[in-house]
Chain A
Amino acid sequence: DVKVTQSSRYLVKRTGEKVFLECVQDMDHENMFWYRQDPGLGLRLIYFSYDVKMKEKGDIPEGYSVSREKKERFSLILESASTNQTSMYLCASWGEGYEQYFGPGTRLTVT
């Protein structure tokens, strides 16, 4: 079974803090994604990566950066967390010809 894990299910951070969300997949997938999910807005793509050290902006990259130093790990970084970044963050990976596999999500609250 493909497994996508995320470092935390729940996270509470203060405004201005630097926040790291980690995602690891175990299926040697090339592509990995970070989404945020907000009520009424569905899933919005923040960044994706199609290879190590490669990244592409999604629909809402502002305020975020990513890092992919190893194939299995894709990190989302909030350089200076703000309250409007309170959301559910979902990581996914994709292998050729298959569906996206999602992690359990991290519910981030910025106070």
Chain B
Amino acid sequence: AQKVTQAQTEISVVEKEDVTLDCVYETRDTTYYLFWYKQPPSGELVFLIRRNSFDEQNEISGRYSWNFQKSTSSFNFTITASQVVDSAVYFCALSELTGNQFYFGTGTSLTVIP
């Protein structure tokens, strides 16, 4: 069965600290997509990254980086030098390549304290 687990329900960090959000997934498919979304207090989900299961290269975008490890079925997200604007709920998701099904984790609520 397809499943995404975000074990961290809430995290608080002090501004400028680094923080890693964990995501572990289960899938029977050999090819799939993985995603991270950010949901700020305004409510709209903002796409952050999509990763194809073929591509295990880590990715860095500014202060954000993602570590994809197929061997451990994990797709972790690190924010370096966190800022107050990073406070949000972050969702990890998995989809089939057909796009007919998306599976979301329960989200991690990140609070960055000034």
Contacts and interface: CB of A to CB of B under 8 A. Distances in A.
Contacts, number: 52
Interface in A57-111: 88, 90, 92, 94-96, 98-105, 107
Interface string B77-114: 00000000000000101010001111011110000000
B35 to A, nearest CB: 6
Output the residue of B37, B42, B100 with the most chain A CB within 10 A.
B100
Contacts of B99: 30-31, 94-96, 100
A90 B45 contact: yes
A17 to B, nearest CB: 23
A94 B35 CA distance: 13
A97 B107 CA distance: 23
Interface string B1-27: 000000001000000000000000000
Interface in B38-85: 42-45, 47, 50
A90 B89 CA distance: 15
Contacts of B42: 104
Contacts of A40: 9, 106
Given A33-B102, A48-B100, A42 B45 contact: no
Nearest to A104: B44
Contacts of A96: 99
A96 B100 CA distance: 10
B108 to A, nearest CB: 10
A100 B91 contact: no
A56 interface: yes
Contacts of A33: 102
14 contacts: A40-B9, A42-B91, A42-B106, A50-B100, A90-B45, A94-B95, A94-B102, A95-B99, A99-B47, A102-B44, A102-B45, A104-B42, A105-B44, A107-B43
Interface of A: 30-31, 33, 35, 40-43, 45, 48, 50, 56, 88, 90, 92, 94-96, 98-105, 107
